[in-house]
Structure 1
Amino acid sequence: MSYKFCTECGTKVEKQYRVCTNCGKQFANVQDTYDQRQSDIAVGGIPSPNFQEIKETPGNNTRSTKQTSRSKKLYLTVGVILVVLLFGGYYLGSTLTSKETVIQKFEEALQEQDTTVLVGVVDTTDPNLKITKKSLFPFLSYIEDQPQNLTFSGLEKMRFVSIHPSGKKWLFFDRYKIYIKPFYPVISVNFDGTEIIINNKKVGKINRGEAKTFGPYLIGEYRLKAVYKGKYATIDKEEVIDPHSITGKKMEVNLTLPENYLSIYSDREDAFLYVNGKNTYQRVGEMDRFGPVVFDASITIHAETEINGNVIKSNETTLVDEDFRDIGLLFNYQKENTPVESSNVTTEEELSSTEVVATEEDLSSINVEAEVKKIRTEYNEINRVQKDFTTNKQGRNFTQYINENGIIKKIVKHENGLTTEYYFWDDGSLFFIFTTTAKPLENRYYFKNNHMIRWIDSNERKIDVNSSKVNQTFKDWENYWVNQILSSID
């Protein structure tokens, strides 16, 4: 038996077959064999018994071709889908993690004050600071008041924020975060045991002369408050941090509390000081200064001493004027003394308590010490009732205090933020001037009928107003300062 091989699939097939028994491929010599057989039949021949007629089945070939085509299309489709998914996924991943997307989320979250989104897109370079909704509030509070800065670029120009890679996402894509600037406030105070409060939260205590570091905090709006609780007063000071003033990682803040101390004197230095009716067991003559105190009329002071077995009480002074801290606590009695002549410049101890001088021909000889005591009592009384006076401000540096009868009792004048002058009147007559400078240097001028009878200079010396030098100084005062003030009242 002879065989042949299919040229399509290579299958071994008996030679008499017209088509391949495997793939259905029609052989080229089929027609010749068929024609020979038909010729043999026509002449009365008999077909060869070995010739097996194979009927061609058209459907087999068509079905096989369709299956091949479908497989190719399937593979192609799957390949295209995989390519699309691959490139689409990469594009989507890179888009979701890009700088532009992170900045857009950041700006939208700022507009909506959405702390949930912000926690996911912001960070800080300080490992000691954890980003939470609460830690973001000061930053958001400041931004809310600065609508022109609700953009990343605006905040970046102010050096409040920056953007940097923060690891990988899905192994392939750079992950970006916006970093908010951190800072540490370094706070110092001027009282021991001062409590520090930052944005209504107590964070610790500081002593005088030390600087303590707090934080870290995200850059933003912060209220720093120092509170000192003393025996006689609670003093506080608050300062709001401007984010623009934070130039480095550390920011020095000096919370200097008002040093509300009093200078107290008396004609009996052995007298005890009383505060709101309670004995402090401190003698007036032994106190360098007293305080700190507050000037809200909550504190009243006086002195008590014993004379001839009797306890006597000085005048009382209620603290209402923070600009006037020189308080005299005097007793209503007079000592018998022999007048002595005064020198040109004398100390407190050298000058007797009954100094007699005459500064003008129309003034009779007067007891200067007695007049000074009266003057001190009067200006203390004016300060005590000052809260009931009507104030009349003439500019930011000039204030008049007027009583219920419309009479000016006191004038306060500020000069260049360095010098303060206090003028006191009684029955239309100037009786006392007190001046203080920033050093401080203090001068006290006592008047009788608008004429100076005593001058206590910044060295606590009593100056004889009869000396030629003082007379010239007095004339300068009278012709310029006093007359200027009096003319301003008219």
Structure 2
Amino acid sequence: MSYCKNCGHKISEEQQFCPECGKQVEAESIPPMVGNEAPQPALKGMSRKTKMLTISAAAIAALTFGAYYMVNKTMTSPSAVVDNFIEAVQKQDVKTVKKIVNEGQIELKANEKQVQQFLTYVKDNPQVLASMSDELKEEVSLYETQGNTVQTDEVNSSYAQLKLDGKKWVLFDHYTIRVQPAYVEVTSNLEKADVYIDNQKVDTIKNADESQTVGPFLPGEHEMKLSTKGDYGTVEMKQTIESTDSDEAISADFDWGDHYVSLYSDYFDGTVFVNGKSTGKTVEELGYIGPVNLDGSVEVHAERKFGSKTKKTPAITLEGDIVEAELYFSMSDDFDDVSTEVDASDSIDEETDIEDAVRSHYNYITSDSFASAHDLFSSSRKSKVDLSDWKKGLQANISDNVTNIEVLDVDGNEARAYVEMTSYDDNNDGTHLVQEWEGYWSLVKEDGEWKLDSADLEKVDSRVE
């Protein structure tokens, strides 16, 4: 048996060419092995360059295997991914957690504010981190023992889940952390309200009183806000919601009832004004206003014409727990300033006496007791209005019907009252002249009794019946 001088391959005696390298076989053969020395044909016949290349390739292979082992162990293995995540959460490392969370999410992309809220929630609730860590380590054990055959539903993760997500850099299995997103069931008795979570708009309420799923968002404590643009400005309601590992769904119920204020008045035909601007509707037509903010930013009052003058009610500020705005024209001081304060019970008695004086005057006219009606005039008015002449002007009168009377103010011995009255006169042809009057009577107190002093009445309607 001989050997090829070129490559050292064994050659039988009958072979003329080397079956390995194709070199022609020379007659001289390689001397036989001496003692225990073994032939080294593979390297002996190599050039220096070939030897260096062979050694370099072996070294590169060894380094590559070592690098693969280290990368897999410290960066891409299930335990490495979980350890990096838990460490970042413990250190409150917002940027690292944000990167890990968004890499494993398909439902949402969290911003730094949301991640910070998540980390704050975990920090304030240590049991959350403990539970999350235990669950993830349990999943690491499954992947290490079962490999890629692990079913994603084998671990009931409350907060986070380890998932195999394809390959990384071609060679390595890619594992991600999927933080379980939270959702909330929102119910609102007002539709078309915009839904915000942590001041970020996420949805709009479509139907009133119907539950609507809103999300996703990261677990933790969040501020949920509903905002609607009403006729009287933008109104907002807020609630704090918190996701937990409970099986119960998160729910938020928004009732806008507290943002509606009923309207009441002694004259329901008065026009309602909000922040000085007319609504174009009466107290009766509106019934209530809302939704409105009850933070003192809204004022409401009513206006109504009494004869030739317009009277305003005091403005009511809508704030606190107000449920009804009482728009009383009788409380207005638009006409005269009241400088003398009187006891409430005395004031009521005075108002009753004033009303009685006005009503009695017209009742006496209706019953043709003209002298008694004239006697209810003040001494000043009597000096100007002669009884006989005044009586002649009332001969056709059938009745004077006072339909409304309101004492506007009382100041010592002077008072002012608003009166609405309908008079009926005989036309001597079987018909009646009906006239409606509105205006004011000024009264003075003489000898302890209220007397009619001067009138400012206007005819607002006239018809024949």
Question: What is the TM-score with the length of structure 2 in the denominator?
Answer: 0.49
Larger radius of gyration: 1
The higher-RCO structure (CA 8 Å, 6+ apart) is 2
Greater strand fraction, Structure 1 or Structure 2? 2
Give the alignment's TM-score, normalised by structure 1: 0.46
